[in-house]
Copies of this chain bind each other. A is one copy, B any other.
Amino acid sequence: MTDEQRQSPAGPIRVGVFGARGRMGAEVCRAVDAADDLELVAAIDEGDGLSGAAEAGAEVVVDFTTPDVVMDNLRWCIDRGISAVVGTTGFTGERLDRVRGWLERSSPGVGVLIAPNFGIGAVLMMQFATKAARYFESVEIIEQHHPRKLDAPSGTATHTARLIAQARAAAGMGPAPDATKEEVPGARGADIDGVRVHAVRSAGMVAHQEVLFGTTGETLTIRQDSYDRVSFMPGVLLGVRSVRQRPGLTIGLDALLD
């Protein structure tokens, strides 16, 4: 690949996928393939070797692999001036520091986006909830998932509750009003940093969350419904399109939705 290729404003972005035969990776391959402004140039999985991505001129690599190989993959990309969008889990503070170190010594213009959640709707829901938190005296969260889920409440609901609790504390708000005197245990939900969270489990559901805000005479509801793992694809593609404009390390899709 020449610099001309890499910087061509007119051509599609050349994308490689690591973990291309996994469930998420396979969806990424399909989504990249279907997008007019992106070109899938390398679909790589265990046993393939990474060099195919460089030979094919990948400008951005999407990594949905495993914690034990992702650091080597990232090092390899950064050394070659290839930007990366990473959905693989297992990033500790120490790991993030190492990635930052590699990026400081890399050629300029290399960006890495590491995101725990590529659902644009979920990320916007959290942003909006954080903003609304200080204007409503009451707030509760209801999350609804399929009955095979092991934890209750969901990680997204817990994270949303913590963001709301922080925003309320920063605005000097006290606890939400609640006169409950007689409660059948559990009726009022789980208490996550003072925010009540209710977890519904039902056949026929996939992944849904509602944040309910209330003040005198009005309520505001923010609801997000995911039906499929393909719901993460618009977020992954947004990352692919944006990562080269954000040199260095970016953590969370949140930063791209400003």
Contact of A198 among B31, B135, B198, B233 (CB under 8 A): B198
Interface string of A209-229 (1 = CB under 8 A from B): 000111111111111111111
Q: A138-B147, A181-B151 are in contact. Are A227 and B218 (CB under 8 A)?
A: yes
Q: Is the CB of A189 within 8 A of B192?
A: no
Which residues of A from 190 to 208 have beta carbons under 8 Å from B? 190-192, 196-206
A contact residues vs B (CB 8 Å cutoff)? 31, 119-121, 124-125, 127-128, 131-132, 135-140, 142, 144, 147-153, 158, 176-192, 196-206, 212-234, 238, 257
Q: List 11 A-B contacts (CB under 8 A).
A: A121-B136, A121-B213, A124-B220, A140-B202, A147-B179, A179-B201, A187-B198, A200-B212, A202-B219, A204-B219, A206-B227
Residues B225 and A179 in contact, CB atoms below 8 Å apart: no
Shortest Cβ distance from A252 into chain B, in angstroms?
A: 15
Contact indicator B219/A153 (Cβ below 8 Å): no
Q: How many Å lie between the Cα of A183 and that of B139 in the bound state?
A: 21
Given contacts A142-B198, A234-B215, contact A186 B180 (CB under 8 A): no
CB closest residue in chain B, given A201: B178
Write out the residue numbers on chain B whose beta carbons fall within 8 Å of the beta carbon of A135: 120, 124, 234, 238, 257
Chain B residues, Cβ within 8 Å of A196: 200-201
The 10 A-B pairs at the shortest CB distance, nearest first, are namely A217-B231, A204-B214, A202-B214, A218-B231, A138-B202, A187-B190, A184-B190, A217-B228, A147-B177, A198-B198
